[in-house]
A and B are shown apart, each in its own frame.
Chain A
Amino acid sequence: QSALTQPASVSGSPGQSITISCTGTSSDIGAYNYVSWFQQHPGKAPKLMISDVSVRPSGVSNRFSGSKSGTTASLTISGLQAEDEADYYCSSYTSFHTVIFGGGTKVTV
């Protein structure tokens, strides 16, 4: 199964909003509302930012929001800050009872 499709990079200025797309198929994103997003800073372990398409775990800034339409999920970061500069990965549960990640998006502020 191929990885979910994400743009390689997205950039924005401080204070702006950016959106990262994540495109899958009817066997993963289109099949369930189990889409998560992870943030990873260089040399660090990933951190959960969004689960279940749009749920923010405790402690995650409300500047981060998620959505889904059909087979495409999206992560929006509003009020962009320098600390948001990182790699972001989407992931989805699949109809094969496995998990699939996107290729990752480098966010530059």
Chain B
Amino acid sequence: EVQLVESGGGLVQPGESLRLSCVASGFTFTPYTINWVRQAPGKGLEWISYISGDYRRIFYSDSVKGRFTVSRDNAKNSVYLQMDSLRVEDTAIYYCTRDMSYIQFEPWGQGTLVTVSS
């Protein structure tokens, strides 16, 4: 079964850091771009970052640029999202998703909840 599983979410205070992981299984991981998309409580989807399979293409949304860093380890079928200087507005469910080709996002993970609050 093709699957992505996120982990690493939790409750942190503003200004703190958190590292999310996304582990893939059921498919050949290396060729695929992996995206991170988040959804604040009761709000819509927001794309935040992607990393290509060859590590060469990395992009971020303006809302997280300079604070978040995406990386991957193809040997471990994993993608990571290092989130620094967290803000209250970063509170959301964070999903990782495989990009088959230009926003053909499937599958999606189940999501991991990040709560930033004092």
Which of B57, B101, B108, B109 is within 8 Å of A97, CB to CB? B57
Residues of chain B within 8 A of A36, CB atoms compared: 103-105
Decide if A45 is an interface residue (CB 8 Å cutoff): yes
Which of A35, A40, A45, A104 is within 8 Å of B110, CB to CB? A45
B44 and A89 within 8 A (CB): yes
Q: How many angstroms between the C-alpha atoms of A101 and B105 in the bound complex?
A: 12
Task: List the interface of chain B (C-beta within 8 A of A).
Answer: 35, 37, 44-47, 50, 57, 59-62, 95, 100-111
B44 and A48 within 8 A (CB): no
B50 and A99 within 8 A (CB): yes
Q: How many angstroms between the C-alpha atoms of A101 and B103 in the bound complex?
A: 10
Which of B57, B62, B101, B106 has the largest count of A CB atoms less than 10 A from its CB? Answer: B106
- Give, as a whole number of angstroms, the nearest-CB distance from B43 to chain A: 8
A 14-54 binary contact with B (CB < 8 Å = 1; else 0): 00000000000000000010111010100001111001100
Which of A34, A51, A57, A101 is within 8 Å of B47, CB to CB? A101
**Main DSSP-derived SS at the A contact region:** strand
B46 and A52 within 8 A (CB): no
Residues of chain B within 8 A of A101, CB atoms compared: 37, 44-47
Residues of chain B within 8 A of A1, CB atoms compared: 62
Residues of chain B within 8 A of A98, CB atoms compared: 47, 59-61
With contacts A100-B47, A101-B45, A101-B47 taken as known, whether A57 is within 8 angstroms of B59 at the C-beta atoms is no
Find the B residue at minimum CB distance from A92. B103
Q: How many angstroms between the C-alpha atoms of A48 and B99 in the bound complex?
A: 11
B44 and A104 within 8 A (CB): yes
Residues of chain A within 8 A of B44, CB atoms compared: 3, 87, 89, 101-104
Q: How many angstroms between the C-alpha atoms of A46 and B93 in the bound complex?
A: 12
Q: How many angstroms between the C-alpha atoms of A103 and B39 in the bound complex?
A: 11
A93 and B45 within 8 A (CB): no
Find the A residue at minimum CB distance from B62. A1
